[in-house]
């Protein structure tokens, strides 16, 4: 299927004609209907990339401090043993301490995708394991001493080994259980449950259709998006599946989506985050659209899409949606009945005598008795405007008198009609 020249022209006009001021007003209007006033007036939100750069700097300083402290401790051990003529032992101790420090530092650098849920599961699992081991040992110690026939006040070596084994078992069981149920793990004070509070604008979760469409990348270039863009892992997998399709059209669409995603990642004006979507709420959800809605609800985010059905599903479930088609329609020229427009008749209409033209933003203009002016640029008088889910249509008739702009009416030099 190939696009006609007129449709290609409409696409070029649509993508190149939107002024920044009109676009900013449309976005502000869309956000005003969906965001609370506190979110819109929050002026403390950092610019995209600023928080990330600051976090990297703090992390670099922390690693440097850790390395210097490790060197200081290793040097202290070295000098202490050198003073006692233990040169070999001092050197070996220095090497061991530095090797441990470098191994810890290397493991931290190599582990890129850290999750607080995994770290907290291990930490609280160990804490719970030590606590349970201590409680169990207090109960088992008299039985063990009676079985071993030990009367000593201090712990003997068999008792220490049994206590160590008990600690290892309880720590392993606690960490294993918490790690396997980390997504369901919540800390709840009686009658009070803590939830994540978002500050500033809500993040945007991108749908597959909006990435393939490509206009989101052009919007990012304008610099008006000051919130994080989230691309779930399952959306990226769907894009890869489309790009590997045997159908040529689908394959081209998938490759275009991957190119658009790469362009947005290299854009310094916006922050794009790849989300693994490893949450408990998505375990039983298989469809991509449903997973998007559930993920947006969990992250308190908004969904950006061009899919009409996904738009309705998200709104039913109480998730805010930004539809790029609706946003594009909000940017189109507003024409009132009686106004005069300058348009070129490019093709015949469906009805007898009708002609069809397009404005610079791609709005279709149906001209009564305009078939006789096919290929000509004429002035028309707007008779009515029809708003449909697919866009806006303007109906008019050919104006007999010449086109007169507002500047001419005010006494200025006549302006040339737009091309």
How many other C-beta atoms lie within 10 A of the C-beta of residue 175? 19
Dist CA 237 CA 243 (whole Å): 10
How many other C-beta atoms lie within 10 A of the C-beta of residue 208? 27
* Mean pLDDT computed over 86-93: 85
Asked if the structure places residue 356 within a domain, the reply is: yes
Residues 221 and 239 reside in one and the same domain: yes
Give every CB contact of residue 313 below 8 A, 6+ residues apart in sequence.
289, 290, 293
- Quick: pLDDT tens for 179-212: 777 655 554 444 444 445 555 678 899 999 899 9
Residues 265 and 345 reside in one and the same domain: no
Asked if the structure places residue 62 within a domain, the reply is: no
Asked if the structure places residue 51 within a domain, the reply is: no
Residues 160 and 176 reside in one and the same domain: yes
Residues 181 and 148 reside in one and the same domain: yes
Residues 126 and 234 reside in one and the same domain: no
Give the range with max mean pLDDT: 133-137, 149-153, 275-279, 308-312. 133-137
Mean pLDDT score across all residues of the chain: 76
Asked if the structure places residue 89 within a domain, the reply is: no
Angstrom CA distances, 391 to 98, 211, 350, 363, 387, stand at 67, 21, 18, 8, 6
Q: Give the predicted TM-score (pTM) of the model.
A: 0.46
Q: Which of 330, 346, 379 is the last residue of a domain?
A: 330
Lookup: tokens for 217: 């990348």
Q: What is the pLDDT of residue 415?
A: 43
Residues 307 and 341 reside in one and the same domain: no
Residues 152 and 124 reside in one and the same domain: yes
Q: How confident is residue 18, by pLDDT bands cut at 50, 70 and 90? A: very low
Residue 274, φ and ψ in degrees, nearest 5: -90, 120
Angstrom CA distances, 111 to 104, 107, 224, 350, stand at 11, 6, 34, 63
* Mean pLDDT computed over 365-373: 88
What b/e readout covers 133-168, taking b as 16+ CB neighbours within 10 angstroms?
A: beeebeeeeeebbeeeeeeeeebeeebeebbeebbe
* Mean pLDDT computed over 384-394: 78
Supply the CATH number for residue 342's domain.
2.40.50.140
Is the per-residue pLDDT at 175 higher than 50? yes
Residues 125 and 224 reside in one and the same domain: no
Is the per-residue pLDDT at 418 higher than 50? no
Which residues form the domain of 144?
A: 115-188
- Quick: pLDDT tens for 238-248: 999 999 989 99
Q: What is the pLDDT of residue 29?
A: 43
- Quick: pLDDT tens for 37-61: 333 333 333 444 444 567 778 888 8
| Count of the separate structural domains present in the chain | 3
DSSP secondary structure letter of residue 371:
G
Residues 322 and 216 reside in one and the same domain: yes
Residues 157 and 217 reside in one and the same domain: no
Asked if the structure places residue 273 within a domain, the reply is: yes
Residues 288 and 274 reside in one and the same domain: yes
Asked if the structure places residue 209 within a domain, the reply is: yes
């Amino acid at each position: 299927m190939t696009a006609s020249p007129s449709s290609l022209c409409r696409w070029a006009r649509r993508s190149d004609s939107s002024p920044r001021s009109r676009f900013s007003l449309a976005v502000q209007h869309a956000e005003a209907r969906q965001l609370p006033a506190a979110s819109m007036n929050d002026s403390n939100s950092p610019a995209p990339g600023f928080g990330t750069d600051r976090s990297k700097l703090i992390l670099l300083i922390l690693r440097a401090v850790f390395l210097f402290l490790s060197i200081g401790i290793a040097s202290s051990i070295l000098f202490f043993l050198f003073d006692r003529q233990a040169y070999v032992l001092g050197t070996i101790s220095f090497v061991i301490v530095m090797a441990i420090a470098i191994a810890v530092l290397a493991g931290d650098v190599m582990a890129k995708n850290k999750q607080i849920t995994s770290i907290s599961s291990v930490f609280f699992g160990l804490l719970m394991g030590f606590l349970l081991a201590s409680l169990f040992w207090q109960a088992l110690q008299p039985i063990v001493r009676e079985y071993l026939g030990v009367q000593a006040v201090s712990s003997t070596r068999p008792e220490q080994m049994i206590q160590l084994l008990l600690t290892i078992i309880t720590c392993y069981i606690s960490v294993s259980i918490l790690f396997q149920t980390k997504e369901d793990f919540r800390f709840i004070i009686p009658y009070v449950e803590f939830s994540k509070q978002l500050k500033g604008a809500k993040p945007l979760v991108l749908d597959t259709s909006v990435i393939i469409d490509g206009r989101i990348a052009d919007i990012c270039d304008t610099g008006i998006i000051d919130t994080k863009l989230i691309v779930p892992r399952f959306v990226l997998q769907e894009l890869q599946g489309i790009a590997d399709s045997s159908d040529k059209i689908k394959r081209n669409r998938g490759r275009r989506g991957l190119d658009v995603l790469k362009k947005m990642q290299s854009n310094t004006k916006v922050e794009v985050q790849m989300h693994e979507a490893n949450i408990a709420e998505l375990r039983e959800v298989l469809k991509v659209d449903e997973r998007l809605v559930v993920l947006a609800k969990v992250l308190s985010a908004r969904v950006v899409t061009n899919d009409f059905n996904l738009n309705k599903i998200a709104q039913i479930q109480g998730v805010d949606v930004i539809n790029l088609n609706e946003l594009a329609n909000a940017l189109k020229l507003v024409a009132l009945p009686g106004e005069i427009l300058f348009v070129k008749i490019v093709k015949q209409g469906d009805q007898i005598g009708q002609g069809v033209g397009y404005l610079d933003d791609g709005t279709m203009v149906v001209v009564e008795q305009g078939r006789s002016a096919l290929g000509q640029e004429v002035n028309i008088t707007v008779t009515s405007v029809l708003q449909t889910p697919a866009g806006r249509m303007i109906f008019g008739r050919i104006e007999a008198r010449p086109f007169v702009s507002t500047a001419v009416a005010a006494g200025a030099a006549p302006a040339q009609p737009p091309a």
